[in-house]
Structure 1
Amino acid sequence: MKKFNHSEVRWGIIGVGDVCEVKSAPAMDKIPNSKIIAVMRRSEEKVKDYAQRHEIDTWYTDAQQLIHDPKVNAVYIATPPHVHLELCKLAAEAGKPVYVEKPMARNYAECLEMIQVCEKHEVPLFVAYYRRTLPHFVKIKELLNEEHIGDIRTVHINMKQVVEPEIIAQLENNWRIQPEISGGGYFFDLASHQLDLLAFFFGDIIFANGLCSNQAQAYEAEDIVVGSFAFENGVLGTGNWCFTSSKSAEKDEIVIDGSKGQIKVETFGKGEFTVFKDGKEPYHYQVDLPKHIQQPLIESIVSQLLGKGSCPSTGITASKANWAMDLLTSKKI
C-alpha cells in the first residue's frame, strides 16, 4: 500500500443519509487528526440541510466532484450496496483510501472487484463492521481466547423479527428489501453483522450451506433463511433467521457453547452478555456503548492511516460475510 502522506484524515462522505446522523459521521469530527471536509447526496435540498446542521462548509450532488476535491484525502461511502463497487472504483482510482458501509456489496463477486481495484491502486479498503471494536464483543473474544468456557463446540444464531405495518406500506422506499439494491432482504442487512462478528471470534468461515424462502410474500426478497457453517478453527455453527415471525417469537441471540460453559449475547442489543459456566453462578457483563457506535472502528481506521495502529475490518475480512451469505441463500425453496 502507498504511504498515507498526510497528518490529518480529511473525509469526504458520499450518501449522507440516516446512518450519518449519529452512528458514524459525527465521530469523524471528534477523533483527533480527523475531520469531515465535504459531503455529497443527490438531493441538493437534503445535502444542504445535512451540511448546515452538521456545520460542514462544502457539499456536492455529484460523487465524482467530491472524490476529486483536493482537500478530501479519504472517502466514506455511506450509500446502499448497489453503488458500493462503482464508487469504490472511483475513489481507488483517485488514490484515496475507502471506508464503505456494510454489507460490503450485493454479492461476493462485487466484493472481490472492490478488493482488486484497491490493491491495484494501492489504497486501503475498510468496511463498517464496527462490532469488531465494541467493548463487550472484544471482551467475548478475550474470554474465548482464554478458553474461559473451555473448547468451543458450536455456535447458533437465532434471529426472529416481525413485519411492521409501515414496512409493507412503504415498500418502494425500503431499499433493504429490494434485492437489486441490497443484494437480498433483511438477511443481507442484519446477518452480515452476525456472520462477520463470528468470523472475528473464530476465524474465517470456510463452509456455508443453506436454504431460503419467501414464505409470507410480503416483499420480493427472501424472508426466511436456515443454514449451517464452519470456521477455520473447527467450530461448527447453525443459523435460523425469520423476518416475518410473530411478536411473541421475536429473538436476537447468539449462543456459543463450549466444553465448560456457554455465552449468550444479542448482536443488536445493549453492550452486554451472559456467561454460564459449569459449577458457577451465571455472570452478566455490561458496558455502555458509545453514542456514535462506529467511533471505535473509525478511530482504528484513522490510526492505521496515520501509521499508528491497524483496523480489524478490511475488505478482505468483510468479503467473507458476503461469501457465506451467497451460499446460505443459494438454494431457494
Structure 2
Amino acid sequence: MELAKVRWGMIGCGDVTEVKSGPAFQKAANSELVAVMRRTGKLAEDYAKRHLVRKWYDGADALINDPEVDAIYIATPPSSHKEYTIKAAKAGKPVYVEKPMALDFAECNEMIATCKAAGVPLYVAYYRRAQPKFIKIKELLESKEIGEVRFVSTTHYQKAAEDLRNSQSPPWRIQPELSGGGLFFDLGCHTLDILDFILGPIKDVQGFASNQAGYYRAEDIVTGTYQFESGVHGVGSWCFSAYEDVDINEIIGSTGKIIFSTFGQSPVLLTTERGTEKWDFPALQHVHQPLVERIVADLTMGFSQVPSTGVTGARTTWVMDQLVKSFRS
C-alpha cells in the first residue's frame, strides 16, 4: 500500500493527543490529520478548532468510512482497540493503535488476523522504539560494547497519586475492564516493549501481582522473572504505592553494563573497563513523531522500517498477561 500523502483520522481526543501524538500527524512530511472523533461532539469540535483539523465527528463509523481518511489512529482506552481496529481493517484502512495494544493477548491476535486478512498494516504506538535514546542503546548492545548480555534488571516504583486514592470516579487507567489492569499495563508495558526491542522476544515468564495499598481494584505491584529467546535472563519489579519515584534499568554484560531510564531524562550510562561514558538526549516535544514519520514513510514509499507492529505489540501484551495471571485468576 503506497499513498502520495497519508490523511489521518483520529478516534479519541484525550490528553495523549494534545501534545504527545496529535501534532505529530501534522508535522510529519506527507502527513495530515484531517478528521477527529470523540463521542462528545462539542469536545471533538473544540479539539478540531484548536488543532486546525478540518473535520470532526461524534461517531467512529462515520470517521472510519470517510473517503478522505486514508488511515486510522486509535487513541481510546484499550477496551475499544479491538473493535475499532477491526472496523478500520474491514474498511481497508491501515491502523495505528495506542498501547497497550488490547485488553489481552487473545484480542491482539484477533486484531492481527483481521488486518492480515484485509491486507492492511497494523502499527502499535510503542513510540520509544523510534526514539534516538533507545536506538542508541540497541546499537551499543549490537556492537558488543558490554560483551555478551547476561541479564537485565528493571526497578520502577512511584508514589500513589492523590486522584487514585479511593476515588469514587477512578481514571480509566486503573479500571481493568477498560485498561486491562492497573498502572502496570499503562506504564510497565513501555519498559517490557523496549526490552523486546533491544534484547529480542521473551519466551518464558513467571510473575506475581497483588493489590497491596487497596486504593483501587487493579493490581498495584508486579514482580517477575523472564528469559529471552537469546538466553538472556531478566527480573523486574513495578510498584505504584511506594514512598518515592524510581525508574531504572540495568543491562549487565560480560564486559560492562548499561543503565538507563524508561521515562526520565537521565543520561544513558555505559560502564566498562575504560570507565563510564554517557549520552544525553533532549526531551522530544511530540514523542510519537519519530515513529509516525516511519509509518508515513512505510505507507507512502513502501519502506519496511517500522519497528512497532501488531506482532511486536502482541508479544508485550502476552508477557504482561503472564505476569498478572495469578492476580486475574
TM-score scaled to structure 2, two decimals? 0.97
2:185 alignment counterpart = 188
Task: Choose the corresponding residue for 1:66, options 63, 66, 70.
Answer: 63
SS of 1:212's partner is: strand
Q: List 4+ stretches of structure 1 deviating above 6 A.
A: none
- Whether contact under 8 Å (1:107, 1:326) holds in the other structure is yes
Q: How does 1:11-30 map to 2 (within 5 A)?
A: 11-30=8-27
User: What fraction of aligned residue pairs are identical, expressed as a percent?
Assistant: 48
Task: Please point out which of 193, 201, 204 is paired with 2:201.
Answer: 204
Is 1:229 aligned to 2:223, yes or no? no
1:195-218, Cα deviation, whole Å (9 max, x unpaired): 110000111111111011111111
Query: 2:319 aligns to what?
Result: 324
| Residue 149 of structure 2 is aligned to residue 138 of structure 1 | no
What is the letter of the counterpart of residue 101 of structure 1?
E
Q: Secondary structure at the match of 2:301?
A: coil
Q: In the TM superposition, what is the alpha-carbon distance from 1:282 to its structure 2 partner?
A: 1.4
Are the aligned partners of 1:271 and 1:289 in contact in 2 as well (CA < 8 Å)? no
> Structure 1: how far apart are the matches of 2:136 and 2:270?
11
Q: Secondary structure at the match of 2:102?
A: coil
1:85 paired to 2:82: yes
Partner secondary structure for residue 264 of structure 1? strand
Q: How far is 1:173 from its partner? A: 4.2
1:136 and 1:271 in contact (8 A); partners too: no
Query: Matched residues in 2 for 1:119 and 1:136: separation?
Result: 31
- Greater shift, 301-310 or 44-53, is seen at 301-310
Q: Could you tell me how far 1:156 is from its partner in structure 2?
A: 0.7
* CA positional deviation for 1:169: 6.0
Shift of 1:111: 0.3
Contact 1:171 1:219 in 2 (8 A): no
Please give the TM-score of this superposition, normalised by the length of structure 1.
0.96
**Please, which runs of 5 or more residues in structure 2 have no aligned partner?**
none
TM superposition shift of 1:161: 0.9
Q: Specify which of 73, 77, 97 is matched with residue 100 of structure 1.
A: 97
Q: Deviations over 1:69-99 (max 9, x none)?
A: 0000100000000000000010000000000
Structure 2 equivalent of residue 298 of structure 1: 292
User: Aligned equivalents of 1:133 and 1:180: distance in 2?
Assistant: 30
Alpha-carbon distance in structure 1 between the residues aligned to 2:167 and 2:21: 25
> Which residue in 2 is equivalent to 1:254?
249
Aligned-partner Cα distance in 2 for 1:143–1:257: 12
The Cα of 1:272 is off from its aligned counterpart by 2.6
Residues 266-320 of structure 1: per-residue CA shift (max 9 Å, x gap): 1001273111112x22111112132101100000000111124221100001100
Question: How far, CA to CA, are the matches of 1:169 and 1:191 in structure 2?
Answer: 22
5+ long unaligned stretches in structure 1: none
Q: Which of 140, 157, 160 in structure 2 is aligned with 1:160?
A: 157
Check conservation: 1:214, 1:221, Cα contact below 8 A: yes
**Residues 175 and 205 of structure 1: is their aligned pair in 2 closer, same or farther, counting only changes over 3 Å?**
same
Amino acid across the alignment from 1:276 = T
Match of 2:119 among 114, 122, 126: 122
Q: 1:214·1:222 contact (CA, 8 Å) conserved in 2?
A: yes
Corresponding residue for 1:151? 148
**Aligned-partner residue type, residue 61 of structure 1:** D
Q: 1:105-146 CA distances to partner (integer Å, 9 max, x unpaired)? A: 011000000001101101000000011111011001000000
Q: Determine whether 1:266 maps to 2:261.
A: yes
In 1, the alpha carbon distance for the partners of 2:161 and 2:112 equals: 36
Count of matched residue pairs: 327
Question: Within 2, Cα distance between the matches of 1:29 and 1:191?
Answer: 29
Give the SS at the match of 1:237. strand
Contact conserved, 2:102 with 2:317, CA < 8 A, in 1? yes
Structure 2 counterpart of 1:286:
280
Q: Quote the RMSD (CA, aligned, Å).
A: 1.2
* Code of the aligned partner of 2:132: P
2:5/2:31 contact within 8 Å kept: yes
Instruction: Give the Cα–Cα distance (whole angstroms) in 1 for the partners of residues 270 and 123 of structure 2.
Output: 31
